[in-house]
Amino acid sequence: MAEIAGATDVPRTTAARRGFDHIEAWIFDLDNTLYPASCDLFAQVDRRMSGYIAKTLGVPREHARHLQKAYYRQFGTTLAGLMKVHKLPPGPFLEYVHDIDISVVPELPDLAAAIAALPGRRLIFTNGSRRHAENVARKLGVLHLFEDICDIAALDYVPKPDPQAFDKMLELHGLPAARAAMFEDMPHNLEPASTLGMTTVLVHSDYIDHPAQLKVREWRELPEHIHYLTRDLTGFLSTEVTAKSSQSL
């Protein structure tokens, strides 16, 4: 497993691997994908979710933490669980949990250059809010490179990895799945993307927030629904995508 978990870029070695020459749309998750997990931004969101649940439901913080993670695993997001189980409105929750300090997010001009070099359309696809995605992408220096942000509200609060979320995103933006590539830090969120025909890239790090991420440590080869794995999004875009695309021209 060390050669997969520790590698910078790990393509599939089977004939099932999909490439990028045909790609017309580039779809990026936000949290721990566009920005490096090492800046620990999502930890702030994580703590604020626990705090919101404790205050709103009137439960001890330890129980709030349990509910937060249980709903996350069962429903795809903590918010989805709060809406279904407790009938809480999504707006106040999203506003509270995304009221964070984004000064820890670095400006990444090399990432901006790599994204700018991608031929075709570019989209942020997130289970978070548009406001959060705009703030973070602006701090990274990449917001202007994306035509739109497909956030949880646009998805009618149906989160990834629910296939309905993917269908809605593709419908809203008129994207052909077979000509799209998706970049995501959660391996299970790439399963419906692959099923739809997208080329999938797992942006992997040591940040663990879901049991599916722990399973990566057990991999001996990439599963069928993941075509590439990288720890360095900027380097991957520069070397595996744009450089090879230029060579094929």
In this prediction, residue 184 carries a pLDDT of 96
What residue ranges in 108-230 does DSSP mark as E strands?
A: 121-125, 148-150, 180-184, 199-203, 228-230
> Which pLDDT tens digit goes with each residue over 124-183?
999 999 999 999 999 999 999 999 999 999 999 999 999 999 999 999 999 999 999 999
Q: Are 236 and 201 in contact (CB under 8 A)?
A: yes
Q: Of 4-18, 60-74, 78-92, 142-156, where does mean pLDDT reach its minimum? A: 4-18
> Which pLDDT tens digit goes with each residue over 213-235?
778 888 889 999 999 999 999 99
Please report where in the chains the tokens 């919101």 appear, as a residue: 52
Q: Return the DSSP state at 184.
A: E
The type of residue at 154 is A
Q: Of 59-68, 98-107, 176-185, 200-209, where does mean pLDDT reach its minimum? A: 200-209
Name the nearest CA neighbour of 21 among 215, 140, 178. 178
Backbone angles phi, psi at 195, to 5 degrees: -60, -35
* Structural domains for the chain: 2-36+106-248 (3.40.50.1000), 41-97 (1.10.150.450)
Greatest Cα-to-Cα distance within the chain, rounded to the nearest angstrom: 61
pTM of the model: 0.89
Give the torsion through C-alpha atoms of 77, 199, 130, 107, to 10 deg: 110
As given in the structure block, the two tokens for residue 96 are 């509270």
